[in-house]
Chains A and B, each alone.
Chain A
């Protein structure tokens, strides 16, 4: 039983056809590597799954049946979490405030509910610890390094028990050590039965953690196969168009 399916999904931005009849199946506990050249439509594809915008045509099908997302919160309520390529952080807020943005913890009774600062700081500290990140919950994001920002964005996806985690280039701006941590995190998610989509331009990462690879070129799916039956050379060829399809 797949947790998420895309059925003939297309997306037009005006005259640009960013996605062209894409089909995709995601099983629980698998890591799918989504690869393709700049502008191939990878971000567009995951944004559709995350409810950023609806497909121009085609369907999103969850375990319970077809769904239509009007906004990201609705996808999140169905257990789909995303780390955006640009991270979507508020630079003027603290790490903890960003982690809990839109789902703040509160304390008090009745209408007199105020932010539960301690609970949010503590939980964020836990999450950063899990990610082996040096991020401090009270630091303002503006003053953070690229890796710390990435940790904040990833920590968000761990607030609830998600079924699908979509990572749009989560290792683009971070150090070797932190890449290893993120890959470890992906493995842990997989072991908990979470389905992960990893967008990356880094071949070694994809071959290290992914079970399957999904290659796109100019809005089209050109390959979807187990990683064990592919090779970096083949994937490179598929991305550039040297190999037509596989």
Chain B
């Protein structure tokens, strides 16, 4: 036995070592998320040097992190969908309708857990609606979720009777404490961190995560080899809407009021965060960490522009520019890989 196995083992080890060395370096340089994280750190460092009074404070750190936590949570869900090669344009509107549902139930004097459960349930229903149309009926994700974007926003306006909801009933204090509270940083930031770690773990170590990538790589091959394509895609859309619902609840907890315009235009920022973090719009590539740092980069730049006194109307130009830049980067990387 030993003489037989000796040769393959030694060659296997050199194989493995050789590959490990290559990928360790490759990974470092080809991982967009790491570059984005470096950019975030660089901008924050430069800004604190330039504006030590306003920028380098704990309070500003608290503000920045809180501001991107909502987008970051949604970007995690978007990552799952985009990895399968899909897209979800409805997240901002789902956020709006969930905010109104939670607000109305709180306003009616019901305990916060009912409101939260109903909010999460609304999110799941929206995801189910998207998922069924896309996987069972075979509609394109773009068109389907564009429809849901419009439907869910309308539903939010109708449900709210176009009024702002700010009286949250007897359970309001507890609700604001839990969802809008803070411990060093906002609770929504802690939640984002936990969700990012959990989602990264699931993406990299579970069969479900691997199936997301397989579907994005070659949906037909995945189907033929027995990957439950319909189920996995459906779950991706449900997860995406659920993340939007979670973000809505956290945002409500912080703002203390629900308006039906909640989340308007967020789909752009969420997709931008995801793509900037290195998730490939064609599918089959992406990660949780990327969603996190992508959201962080957009917010750090936005915040920096405000501090530097740049007109806030320039934000759209920067966000849009960054999406295009990220896709261009992906092109370049793609070419190098061939």
Contacts and interface: CB of A to CB of B under 8 A. Distances in A.
A52 B224 contact: yes
A123 B207 CA distance: 17
Interface residues of A, number: 30
Interface in B283-338: 284-285, 337
Interface in A91-118: 91-93, 97, 101-104, 106, 113-115
Contacts of A71: 226
A138 B16 contact: yes
Interface string B1-29: 00000001000100110010001000000
Contacts of B220: 88
Contact of B207 (A52, A84, A106, A138): A106
B217 interface: yes
B337 A142 contact: yes
A58 interface: no
Contact of B221 (A89, A115, A143): A89
Contacts of A143: 337
A139 interface: yes
B224 A84 contact: yes
Nearest to A139: B19
Interface residues of B, number: 25
Interface in B139-176: none
A144 interface: no
A138 B19 contact: yes
A90 B215 CA distance: 8
B169 to A, nearest CB: 37
A92 B207 contact: no
A7 interface: no
Contacts of B224: 52, 72, 84, 88
Contact of B226 (A91, A92, A103, A136): A103
A62 interface: no
B77 to A, nearest CB: 21
Chain A interface mostly: loop
A67 B316 CA distance: 59
Given A97-B210, A106-B207, A129-B8, A90 B221 contact: yes
B225 A72 contact: yes
Interface string B249-289: 00000000000000000000000000000000000110000
A114 B206 contact: yes
Nearest to B83: A92
A93 B226 contact: no
A131 interface: no
Chain B interface mostly: helix
B222 A115 contact: no
B218 A125 contact: no
B284 A90 contact: yes
B64 interface: no
Contact of A102 (B15, B222, B284): B222
Nearest to B337: A142
Contacts of B205: 114-115
B206 A93 contact: no
A88 B221 contact: yes
A60 B185 CA distance: 64
A93 B213 CA distance: 8
Interface string B200-211: 000001110010
B336 to A, nearest CB: 11
A90 B214 contact: yes
A178 B12 CA distance: 21
B213 A156 contact: no
Contacts of A125: 12
A90 B213 contact: yes
A104 B337 contact: no
B216 interface: yes
B207 A115 contact: yes
A85 B217 CA distance: 18
Contacts of A156: 225
A220 B36 CA distance: 60
A31 B210 CA distance: 35
Contacts of A87: 221
Contact of A90 (B19, B23, B206, B218): B218
B226 A90 contact: no
Interface in A135-190: 136, 138-139, 142-143, 156
A134 to B, nearest CB: 10
Given A89-B221, A90-B284, A138-B23, 4 more contacts: A73-B226, A90-B222, A101-B225, A142-B337
Interface of A: 52, 71-73, 76, 84, 87-93, 97, 101-104, 106, 113-115, 125, 129, 136, 138-139, 142-143, 156
Interface of B: 8, 12, 15-16, 19, 23, 205-207, 210, 213-214, 216-218, 220-222, 224-227, 284-285, 337
14 contacts: A72-B226, A87-B221, A89-B218, A89-B221, A90-B213, A90-B218, A91-B217, A92-B284, A93-B210, A101-B226, A101-B227, A106-B207, A114-B205, A115-B207
4 A-B pairs with least C-beta separation: A102-B226, A90-B217, A92-B217, A88-B221
